[in-house]
Amino acid sequence: MTVDDLARPETPEARTPEPAARPGGWAALRPLVLRLHFYAGVLVAPFLLLAAVSGLLYAVSVPAEKLVYAHELEVPVPADATALPLSRQVELARAANPDGTVTAVWPGAEPGATTRVLMADPEAPEGTSMGVFVDPYTGEIRGQLPSYGSSGALPLRTWISGLHVDLHLGELGRNYSELAASWLWVVALGGLLLWIGRRRKNRRALFLPERGPKSRRRTLSWHGTVGLWTVAGLVALSATGLTWSRYAGENIGSVQDRLGGATPALSAAVTPGGAAGGGEHAGHGAGHQPAPAAPKGTDIGIDKAVEAARAAGIDSSSISVVLPAEGAGYVVKETDKQFPVELDSVAVNPADGTVLDELRFADYPLLAKLTRIGIDAHMGVFLGLFNQLALAALGLALVLLVVWGYRMWWLRRPGRPVARGAWRKAPVTTLLPLLAGTALVGWFVPMLGLSLLLFLAVDVTAGFVAKVRAGRGPDPAGTA
C-alpha cells in the first residue's frame, strides 16, 4: 500500500452521509482511534517488530548465558566444600591478569558457582570490565570474559542487549528503541479500545479467536484476542522501557525526582569530600577508564570487610564487594533481584571495619522501588525463569500481532481507507481535552510527539493529493 492507496478518493456509493447530529462518546472517538491505530500499525510496526525480535532474543539469552559460559560460571563442588578466603581468590585473579586493577568482587551466590573478580583492564571492550572467574574451592582460574554493568552480562547477552537497545548503531540507533517504546502503549491501548468496542454475536468472541476458513475476519479475531490477553504486559514493557530512554527517560527522571522518588545513594566517603562508592555501576564501569586510586593507610582486607557487612545485616548469599578507592571505603551490596528482592548495602571503613553508611531497600521511596522492580522485570531477572518465559511469550505475541496486522492490511487492498475528517465530527467538549492531552503527552514523550506530527503531515499530503486528483481544491482541514 502506498500514499496513493491511502489517498484514494471515496466513491459516492461508499461515502457515508453526514449525520444531522454529532455523535458523542465512543462513537465520536472511534474513527480517530481507528485511524491512529492504522497509521501507527503501518508506519511504526517495523520498529516494534525489531524491538520484539531482539527482546525475545534477550529473554532467552539469560538462561542461554548459563549454558554457553558453563565452564566459567560453574565448578564441581568437592566433598568438604570449603571455599578459599576471598583475599586469596583475589590474589590468584591478580596473578592471572597482572595488567588489570581489581575494582569489585562477586563471590559465588550458591555452591558450585565461581567467584567473579572484576578488573579495570585496557584490553576489555569499552563499557565493560574484565571478569576473572575463580574456582572458590581450588583457586583454579576458569577463564576471563568481559562483564558489563551491574547485571554482569557476559559477551552473548551484552551483544543481544546492544541489538535491542540501539541495533549497534550507537546514539543514533537508540532512537529506534525509544520510538518503539513510545508507541507500543498507544498501539496496545488503542487496539484494546477498538476490540472491546467492536460488535460481536457473543461474549466468547471477545476472549477467544474465531474458527473457520482463513480470512481477514479470522485474522482480525486472532489479532484482537491475543492483543487483549497481552495488553497489560505490552503496556508494562513500554513504560519500563521508557524509563531509561534518551529523551522521555530524562522527563520521567525529573518527575520522579520532584515527587521524591529518586533512588537514594549510599555514601562511602571516609573523609569529607571523599569519593562515594555506592553507585549503581560502581566498580565495573567503562573498561578503558582508569581504575580509582587505591586508599593509603591501614586496610582490614576484603574478608573482614565482608564480615563487618554481614554483622550489619547483609545476609543475602548474592553480594557484590566494591573495593575502596582513595577517600572511600568498601561497599558491600546485596544483588539478589529476584522476589523478594534483597538489595541492601553498607559502606565499611577500610581502616577499622566500622560501618560508614547503610542503605536498606525497605527505605527506598515507593517510586524508586517500583522503578527498580520494573526495570528488573523488563530485563528478566525479577522472577527468574518465569520472568524470562513471560518476556519471551510477550515478544512472540508482539511479533504475531505485527504480522497479523500487515496481513489484514494486505487482505483489505484495495479497500476503502479509514475516512478522513473524523475529528470534525467529535464534540468540542471531547475534542479540546483530547488535543490538550495529546499535546502534553507529545511533549513528555518527544519521540511520540514528533512522529505524530509526521503522521499528520503524511495524512495532510495524502488528502491534498486525493482532492487534487478529484478535481477539487485542497482542504488540509479534512485530515485525521
Give the C-alpha separation, 131 to 144, whole Å: 5
Compute and round to an integer the Cα radius of gyration of the chain: 28
* C-alpha of 216 from chain center: 33
**How high is the pLDDT of residue 264?**
93
* Beta bridge pairs of residue 400: none
Cell numbers at 121, concatenated: 583492564
Q: pTM value?
A: 0.84
Cβ 418 vs Cβ 463: under 8 Å: no
Q: Measured in Å, how far apart are the chain's first and last C-alpha atoms?
A: 18
CB neighbours of 91 closer than 8 A, spacing ≥ 6? none
CB atoms within 10 A of CB 76: 8
Residue written as grid cell 560460571: 73
**Parts of the chain with a pLDDT under 70:** 1-25, 272-297, 414-425, 472-480
**How high is the pLDDT of residue 200?**
81
**How high is the pLDDT of residue 283?**
33
Give the C-alpha separation, 449 to 43, whole Å: 14
Give the C-alpha separation, 103 to 117, whole Å: 8
Strands of 323-444 (E only): list them. 330-334, 345-348, 355-359
Give the C-alpha separation, 55 to 402, whole Å: 15
Q: How are the residues of the chain apportioned to helix, strand and coil, as percentages rounded to the nearest 5?
A: 50, 10, 40
CB neighbours of 104 closer than 8 A, spacing ≥ 6? 117, 118, 129, 282, 283, 284, 320, 321, 322, 323
CB neighbours of 231 closer than 8 A, spacing ≥ 6? 188, 189, 191, 192
**How high is the pLDDT of residue 149?**
83
CB atoms within 10 A of CB 181: 26
**How high is the pLDDT of residue 277?**
43
Give the C-alpha separation, 158 to 212, whole Å: 44
Cell numbers at 244, concatenated: 531509561
CB atoms within 10 A of CB 98: 6
For residue 473, the number of C-alpha atoms closer than 13 Å in the C-beta half-sphere is: 2
Name residue 374's amino acid.
Answer: G
**How high is the pLDDT of residue 410?**
87
